[in-house]
């Protein structure tokens, strides 16, 4: 019996040492003439690693507006046209009356709303009341450029008459924009996914759109050829896809009779911030120019971002669609910003602060260990070893699952060590005061579940919170709970019982 217990103790201690070595040192294998660690490195978050700092300044420049012979504003002089026919006017991009504290505050709220809508991993934002400068800090990863793209557009949404330039729909008519998908096929017959932005108008906007679709109708010529009326945008004209299962498409065959006697002829132009098909940058452009062949009653406009034939392309189009919807859903920014700075910065946390934090952790650990050893002697030493094992297991889990280590990792790790220590003490106390050690230790573990349930509640809520710092803390807490359970059930309980029998 005693020999069996001794073997058990030695085996458990060996496994503990092995896991600790793996965690703190790693597993090195030779790969092409160099040693590589199989255990991935720590993934440092925004606060401890690199971050992208974007400085937005109020655009104080001027822009040129063009007016045609009829006095209608045009976005630019069409190619080949005689420039002398057009009148030019230099105006300030941001009129002085818009540059006030209220609009600066609103601009910051709009940008924050966009960051939340895009579900960015984490951010920090600050603004100046005096000059409207906004500084945004973001984690530096593959998606950061897409997020930066969505910061400066004003979010202006307009549908105007092509002939008269009259504004038919504006931001006041918007309710919500969402991303949608539809299965489709390319001309060659291969599977594809169409990515759309669905713009839902509010009650007033729906009424207006219904009138517009009855006014600006598609006209038929003698040979029964219709004018272009599909909703493909500039981005997809080269894709030539047919889409199945799309809803609320302007080109669906509704059985409404088209009104060929239009009150106003011509088409409407839909203008909003849209990804440039070549650069991917978000720019305020004429997205569609069209007349309607059927009435739209439900107030939905379906705009195609693109057709993806690969997962990579689908992700690109999805990101672009998210940028567009986040811009539309956050409201119209009365102030136009430009990017004054876009840099990757290292951490502000100094080496001295890191050294102080590590020293505090070591001192805390030492105090806990000394207290355990003084109170429980040999079993106290084993309790300390179990604490080291919890940290080792947590480290391995965090590295293998690529959890981001942020500044909130420190309080979480301290909490895990303290929780583990409390459970160890409960187990050791229960063994001290009872004849039936096995049952007593199980009771102690079951009593300790309350603490683990509380920590689990924190872990779950934090993991599903938006924000890298907080979500990462939740995930570390979760792995900490797993490490505690693994330690007490697989190592601590058998070891304490074995040592007690010895």
Partner 1 sequence: MEKIKNVKKVVFPILILIIMIGAIIVATIGFNFGLIYEGHKRIKIYIEKDYSVEDLNNIIKEVLPNEKVLKQDIETFNKDVSFTVKNITAEQKKSLDSKIREKYKIDEKTEDVVVVVSEPHTRLRDIIKPYIKPLVITTIIIFVYMLIRFRKLGLLNVTLTSLAPVIIMQALYFSVFAICRIPISKLTMPLSLLVYILTVTVITVYLEKMKKNAE
Interface residues with partner 1 (CB under 8 A)? 47, 50, 55, 124-129, 133-135, 140, 340-341, 343-350, 353, 407-408, 410-412, 414-415, 418-419, 422, 447, 450-451, 453-455, 457-458, 461-462, 465, 467, 469-470, 473
Q: What is the closest distance, in whole angstroms, from the C-beta atom of residue 409 to partner 1 in the complex?
A: 8
Choice between 119 and 126, CB closer to partner 1:
126
Choice between 129 and 438, CB closer to partner 1:
129
Q: What is the closest distance, in whole angstroms, from the C-beta atom of residue 462 to partner 1 in the complex?
A: 5
Task: Give the pair of three-digit tokens for residue 399.
Answer: 């590295």
Choice between 52 and 271, CB closer to partner 1:
52
Q: What is the closest distance, in whole angstroms, from the C-beta atom of residue 396 to partner 1 in the complex?
A: 22
Choice between 218 and 468, CB closer to partner 1:
468
C-alpha distance across the termini of the chain, in Å? 9
415, 455 contact by CB (below 8 A) = yes
Q: What is the closest distance, in whole angstroms, from the C-beta atom of residue 277 to partner 1 in the complex?
A: 30
Q: What is the closest distance, in whole angstroms, from the C-beta atom of residue 451 to partner 1 in the complex?
A: 5
Helices and strands in the chain, H and E counts: 10, 19
Cα distance between residue 91 and residue 102, in whole Å:
22
**Which DSSP helix (H) or strand (E) runs through 194?**
strand 191-201
Q: CB under 8 Å to 496, separation ≥6 — which residues?
A: 379, 382, 427, 428, 431, 441
Q: What is the closest distance, in whole angstroms, from the C-beta atom of residue 52 to partner 1 in the complex?
A: 9
47: left (phi over 0), alpha (psi -120 to 50) or beta: alpha
Q: What is the closest distance, in whole angstroms, from the C-beta atom of residue 128 to partner 1 in the complex?
A: 4
Cα distance between residue 274 and residue 283, in whole Å:
5
271, 156 contact by CB (below 8 A) = yes
Q: What is the closest distance, in whole angstroms, from the C-beta atom of residue 339 to partner 1 in the complex?
A: 13
Report in angstroms the alpha-carbon separations of 359 from 48, 139, 437. Answer: 17, 28, 37
Q: CB under 8 Å to 469, separation ≥6 — which residues?
A: 45, 46, 47, 122, 406, 407, 408
Please list the residues that pair with 395 across neighbouring strands.
none
Cα distance between residue 260 and residue 227, in whole Å:
13
Q: What is the closest distance, in whole angstroms, from the C-beta atom of residue 281 to partner 1 in the complex?
A: 22
Cα of 210 vs its chain's centroid, Å: 36
Choice between 55 and 276, CB closer to partner 1:
55
Choice between 26 and 49, CB closer to partner 1:
49
Please list the residues that pair with 344 across neighbouring strands.
52
Q: What is the closest distance, in whole angstroms, from the C-beta atom of residue 53 to partner 1 in the complex?
A: 9
Cα distance between residue 58 and residue 80, in whole Å:
34
Cα distance between residue 417 and residue 400, in whole Å:
20
Choice between 125 and 277, CB closer to partner 1:
125
Q: What is the closest distance, in whole angstroms, from the C-beta atom of residue 96 to partner 1 in the complex?
A: 21
Choice between 68 and 113, CB closer to partner 1:
113
Choice between 92 and 133, CB closer to partner 1:
133
Choice between 286 and 340, CB closer to partner 1:
340
Choice between 180 and 425, CB closer to partner 1:
425
Q: CB under 8 Å to 55, separation ≥6 — which residues?
A: 133, 134, 135, 339, 340, 341, 342
Choice between 47 and 146, CB closer to partner 1:
47
Question: Is residue 16 exposed (0-12), middle (13-18) or buried (19+ Cβ within 10 Å)?
Answer: buried
Cα distance between residue 285 and residue 48, in whole Å:
39
Q: What is the closest distance, in whole angstroms, from the C-beta atom of residue 347 to partner 1 in the complex?
A: 7
Cα distance between residue 22 and residue 16, in whole Å:
10
Q: CB under 8 Å to 379, separation ≥6 — which residues?
A: 428, 431, 496, 499, 500
């Amino acid at each position: 019996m005693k020999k069996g217990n001794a073997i058990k103790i030695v085996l458990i201690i060996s496994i503990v040492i092995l896991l600790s070595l793996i965690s703190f040192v790693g597993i090195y294998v030779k790969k092409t003439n160099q040693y590589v660690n199989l255990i991935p490195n720590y993934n440092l978050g925004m606060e401890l690693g690199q971050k992208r700092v974007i400085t937005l300044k109020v655009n104080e420049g001027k822009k040129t507006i063009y007016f045609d012979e009829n006095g209608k504003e045009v976005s630019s002089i069409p190619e080949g046209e005689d420039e002398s026919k057009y009148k030019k006017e230099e105006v300030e991009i941001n009129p002085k009356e818009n540059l006030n504290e209220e609009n600066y505050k609103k601009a910051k709220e709009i940008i924050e709303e966009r960051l939340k809508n895009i579900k960015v991993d984490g951010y920090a934002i600050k603004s100046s009341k005096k000059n409207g400068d906004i500084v945004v800090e973001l984690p530096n990863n593959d998606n950061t450029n897409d997020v930066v793209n969505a910061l400066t557009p004003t979010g202006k949404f307009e549908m105007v008459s092509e002939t008269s330039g009259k504004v038919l729909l504006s931001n006041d008519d918007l309710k919500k924009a969402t991303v949608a998908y539809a299965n489709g096929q390319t001309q060659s017959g291969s599977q594809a996914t169409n990515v759309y932005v669905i713009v839902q108008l509010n009650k007033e906007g729906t009424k207006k759109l219904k009138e517009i679709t009855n006014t600006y109708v598609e006209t038929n010529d003698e040979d029964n050829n219709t004018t272009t009326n599909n909703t493909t945008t500039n981005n997809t004209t080269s894709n030539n896809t047919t889409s199945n299962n799309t809803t609320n498409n302007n080109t669906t065959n509704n059985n409404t009779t088209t009104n060929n006697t239009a009150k106003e002829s011509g088409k409407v132009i839909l203008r909003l911030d849209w990804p440039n098909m070549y650069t991917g940058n978000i720019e305020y452009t004429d997205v569609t120019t069209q007349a309607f062949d059927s009435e739209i009653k439900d107030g939905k406009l379906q705009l195609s971002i693109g057709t993806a034939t690969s997962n990579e392309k689908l992700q690109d189009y999805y990101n672009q669609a998210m940028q567009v919807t986040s811009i539309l859903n956050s409201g119209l920014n009365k102030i136009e910003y430009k990017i004054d700075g876009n840099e990757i910065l290292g951490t502000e946390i100094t080496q001295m602060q890191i050294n102080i934090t590590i020293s505090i952790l070591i001192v805390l650990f030492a105090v806990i260990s000394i207290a355990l050893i003084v109170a429980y002697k040999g079993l106290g030493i084993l309790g300390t070893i179990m604490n080291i094992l919890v940290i080792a297991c947590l480290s391995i889990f965090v590295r293998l699952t690529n959890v981001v280590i942020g500044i909130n990792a420190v309080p979480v790790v301290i909490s895990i060590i303290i929780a583990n220590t409390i459970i160890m003490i409960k187990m050791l106390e229960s063994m001290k005061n009872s004849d039936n050690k096995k049952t007593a230790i199980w009771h102690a573990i079951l009593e300790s579940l309350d603490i683990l349930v509380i920590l689990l509640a924190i872990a779950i809520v934090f993991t599903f919170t938006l924000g890298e710092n907080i979500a990462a803390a939740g995930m570390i807490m979760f792995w900490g709970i797993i490490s505690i359970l693994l330690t007490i059930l697989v190592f601590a309980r058998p070891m304490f019982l074995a040592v007690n029998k010895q």
